[in-house]
Structure 1
Amino acid sequence: MPAPPATALVASPRVTPLLAAVALSLLLGLQPVTTDVYLPALPMLTAALGAPMSQAQLTMSALILAFGLAQMVWGPVSDRVGRRPVLLLGLSLYTVASAGCALAGSIELLVLWRVLQGAALAAAVVCARAIVRDLYEPVQGAQVMALALSGLGVIALLGPLLGGVTALAFGWRGPLTLVTAVAALTLIFIAARLPETLARPDPGATRLLPLLRRWGGIAANPVFRAWALLVACTYGGLFTLLAASSFVYMDVYGLSPAAYGAAMALGSLSYLGGTLLCRRWIPRHGLAGAVRRGGVFTLAGGLLIATTTWAGLPAPWAVGAVLLSQCVYCFGHGMHQPCGQAGVVAPFPQAAGAASALAGLLLALVAFAVGRWLGGALDGSVRPLAWGLAFWSLMTVTLAWTWVQRTEG
């Protein structure tokens, strides 16, 4: 067998499934760390910086938009130069931006630092998705991704709890300082333990015209479209929870930051349970079969919050209904995400970075639209959260029960 060309990068045999799962958990876990840890402090920083609701929501939606757009750059670059250089640069920028967020003196500066944070976060997430395709075939990749997302679930479980505690102890800057520490530790781990996984870089991956044709081909692929839309819609519901829940739980129902963190942690625990069940269902039912079953939980969560909000339950019961709806929806989300993340890159072993980036852009556009809508829709009631979650649950199950099922044909 001829030796690979000198420019080729050979995927290291040292990347065991356990190492891959831990690395993926940390890299993908930065996304809930970025969005969830500071949620208990969101009403506090809104008041401290004198920010209107639209600007407070911009700290979430602008980050997500930058996150989506930057993936379109990081994905092709990682296909050209490898995953490791992109990860090290992106994680370094992410650490700096996180420190900037913690030190920001105005809402405008905070939004700017969050934009840079989102752009840097994109490098970690797009490379993590591509690494799965570098190392594994789709079904095995989905199982490793489910294991990694179980680790992400643990991170998401601890994030709001720690965010609530640090917000009570140190004010709104406390959770953002915690994010900076997590960023630095992740950078150290990846630099020390994760080797290159891309066996053969593509020197033409960043050429504009071929890249546009590649994206066009990816977007035209019906398998990609089905899974990318599923991932975007299920995240649309999750982002509705993330962006609206702190105001609903804390401002409408009067929960403390610590109690709110505990409520979000229950949702993360449910998400973790969904990923664990997903790992059992994938070998038995395949990717499409797993999300078909997961759709039952997604729909139940959306319908529950819509019907109980419409019924106008009194406050103690209403809080319980919102919390139960959140947990059931997150359980379904824990099944859709591992399958969807593997499904979007499955048809493209030689362009996993570009496919991951395109799917990430779609997800970010959905989340940005949700954030901008909530900036004007939040009215001191639970209704925007309820109607938004119900809408995205219907969109998700429609895709999970129709278009996604046809990908197996």
Structure 2
Amino acid sequence: MPPPAAQALSPSSTNPARVAGMPAGLVVLVLALLLGIQPITTDLYLPALPVLTASLGAQMAHAQLTLSALLLAFGSSQLVFGPLSDRFGRRPVLLWGLGGYVLASIGSALAPSIEVLIVWRTLQGAAMGSAVMAARAIVRDLYPPAEGARVMSRALTGLGVIACLCAPIGGLVSDLFGWRFALLVPTLFGAATLALIAFRFNETLPARNPDALRFATLAGTWAMVLRNPTFLAFSALTTAAYGLLFTFLASSSFVFIQVLGLTKTQYGLVMLWNSLAYIAGTFICRRWLARHGVRGSVARAGVLTLAGGTAMGALSLAGVQSVAAIVGPLTLMMLAHGVHQPCGQSGAVGPFPQAAGAASALNGFIMMLAAFGIGGWLGARMDGTVMPLTLGMWFWSACIALVAWTLVRRHGEAHGH
């Protein structure tokens, strides 16, 4: 086995879809479902969150924990699932992880109290880590970095379609049947994804690493990944981009429903528009990648992000508190998000063809650690105004632009552009 440094530089040299024995369309479908499990788990119950909070007699800070604790477990579990998948393969980790996800989803829907719900949601987040980590690692198993960004963009278009449906379905199911049924929908999605993996998905890991779980190997791999400037640049990008998105997700249902007076159905339509903008962004991403490469695409998207964030923050500081004052600027930020996430996620694992699981896990952990901190900050600062949402998103838009124009521009070359 080559040393870590040699592993990081070894190129992909095979046609992935044929080697894996799967048509390219099936690979994209699998990736879209594995990545889509995240919005299914985080977005679908958001319209029901205020009702859920009242029904269980919970405080807003505890309600926020149903999301932020899930995401902390989601990030942490990837540190375990990543090396496990490098050792045993992506398929067995997915089968066990998705099985656990289905069980935790059932437990969440039946939870008798907010405390029990937080426990089940934490377990659900931990299991969800197997799916998203494996998706990013599978892209690196099958595709060289430049092609990986395009494939990831196609898969994230599928994620956008899934996210489009989440809030409207969540609002509708919650209105018709109650919030517990909204928490039960992820069970069906998880079971369907588990069946697809069990019956149609072939292992993609070219060669298992028998030493992947040894502490010395694991520590050496993580150190190698964390020292890599390309990994750090793209992880900073994905973390700032997810920080912006999570600030919106964690506060939007309270802001739009309780502060701005929208119904759950109207809020679902806002989320639908949000997802449509994101899908459009993934199409822009593929177009820009062909013309400008990864660094050029990310830099251009940084302009959109900062313009949207500045407009949103400035309007709220001027006292404009309306749906349009948030959704208009948000559209620009979500268009850019459709560029930042595929480029960032594929870029972070790009230098590590033989340690894609570990690199994907570290990237995911850093993103979710930031989300957990944001959740705690928001839970203590939701004050009945739009300001925590608007000023928080303005802050993250500035971080994204800074990273896009400095770190990614300087260190993105190793990504193949």
Matched, 1:139 2:143: no
Paired letter, 1:158: L
| Superposition misfits of 4+ residues, deviation over 3 angstroms | 10-13
Equivalent residue number for residue 7 of structure 1: none
| 1:32-89: CA deviation from partner (whole Å, max 9, x where unpaired) | 1110000000001000001111101000100000001100000000000000000000
Contact 2:256 2:262 in 1 (8 A): yes
Cα separation, 1, equivalents of 2:143 and 2:390: 39
User: How much has 1:234 moved relative to structure 2?
Assistant: 0.5
Question: Within 5 A, what are the aligned runs for 1:231-310?
Answer: 231-310=238-317
Q: Which deviates more from structure 2 when the two are superposed, residues 280-289 or residues 247-256?
A: 280-289
Q: Which deviates more from structure 2 when the two are superposed, residues 277-286 or residues 385-394?
A: 277-286
Equivalent residue number for residue 348 of structure 1: 352
User: How much has 1:17 moved relative to structure 2?
Assistant: 2.2
Paired letter, 1:24: L
Equivalent residue number for residue 215 of structure 1: 222
| 1:375-400: CA deviation from partner (whole Å, max 9, x where unpaired) | 10101110000110000000011000
Contact 1:11 1:198 in 2 (8 A): no
Cα separation, 1, equivalents of 2:22 and 2:350: 20
User: How much has 1:408 moved relative to structure 2?
Assistant: 4.0
User: How much has 1:11 moved relative to structure 2?
Assistant: 8.2
Which of 83, 105, 113 pairs up with 1:76? 83
With normalisation by structure 2, the TM-score equals 0.94
Which of 368, 384, 402 pairs up with 2:406? 402
Cα separation, 2, equivalents of 1:127 and 1:408: 23
Contact 1:12 1:195 in 2 (8 A): no
Cα–Cα, structure 1 residues 119 and 276, in superposed 2: closer, same or farther, change >3 Å? Answer: same
Cα separation, 1, equivalents of 2:403 and 2:269: 32
User: How much has 1:15 moved relative to structure 2?
Assistant: 2.4
Cα separation, 1, equivalents of 2:27 and 2:237: 25
Equivalent residue number for residue 366 of structure 1: 370
Equivalent residue number for residue 5 of structure 1: none
Cα separation, 1, equivalents of 2:200 and 2:299: 37
Paired letter, 1:85: P
User: How much has 1:284 moved relative to structure 2?
Assistant: 1.7
Cα separation, 2, equivalents of 1:362 and 1:77: 19
Paired letter, 1:170: F
Cα separation, 2, equivalents of 1:98 and 1:300: 38
Paired letter, 2:125: G
Contact 2:138 2:205 in 1 (8 A): yes
Paired letter, 2:76: L
Equivalent residue number for residue 388 of structure 1: 392
Cα separation, 1, equivalents of 2:81 and 2:144: 22
Which of 36, 40, 44 pairs up with 2:43? 36
Matched, 1:118 2:125: yes
Q: Which deviates more from structure 2 when the two are superposed, residues 225-234 or residues 274-283?
A: 274-283
Equivalent residue number for residue 340 of structure 2: 336
Contact 1:305 1:386 in 2 (8 A): yes
Paired letter, 1:387: L
Cα separation, 2, equivalents of 1:44 and 1:300: 34
Contact 1:11 1:196 in 2 (8 A): no
Cα–Cα, structure 1 residues 12 and 105, in superposed 2: closer, same or farther, change >3 Å? Answer: farther
Q: Which deviates more from structure 2 when the two are superposed, residues 188-197 or residues 334-343?
A: 188-197
Q: Which deviates more from structure 2 when the two are superposed, residues 220-229 or residues 166-175?
A: 166-175
Cα separation, 1, equivalents of 2:308 and 2:185: 31
| 1:241-297: CA deviation from partner (whole Å, max 9, x where unpaired) | 000000000000111111101101110110000001101111221111111111111
Cα separation, 2, equivalents of 1:13 and 1:106: 45
Contact 2:81 2:93 in 1 (8 A): yes
Paired letter, 2:403: L
Cα separation, 1, equivalents of 2:198 and 2:409: 40
Equivalent residue number for residue 227 of structure 1: 234
Contact 1:12 1:196 in 2 (8 A): no
| 1:204-225: CA deviation from partner (whole Å, max 9, x where unpaired) | 0011121011101100100000
Partner-residue secondary structure (3-state), 2:191: helix
User: How much has 1:320 moved relative to structure 2?
Assistant: 0.7
Cα–Cα, structure 1 residues 210 and 13, in superposed 2: closer, same or farther, change >3 Å? Answer: closer
Paired letter, 1:36: D
Matched, 1:186 2:193: yes
Contact 1:17 1:144 in 2 (8 A): no
| 1:107-137: CA deviation from partner (whole Å, max 9, x where unpaired) | 0010000110000000000000000000000
Gaps in structure 2 of 5+ consecutive residues:
1-16
Cα separation, 1, equivalents of 2:412 and 2:341: 18
CA RMSD of aligned residues (A): 1.1
User: How much has 1:180 moved relative to structure 2?
Assistant: 1.2
Paired letter, 2:197: I
Percent identity for Structure 1 against Structure 2? 52
Cα separation, 2, equivalents of 1:329 and 1:343: 20
Contact 1:24 1:128 in 2 (8 A): yes
With normalisation by structure 1, the TM-score equals 0.95
Partner-residue secondary structure (3-state), 2:22: coil
Paired letter, 1:221: N
User: How much has 1:326 moved relative to structure 2?
Assistant: 2.1
Cα separation, 2, equivalents of 1:184 and 1:215: 32
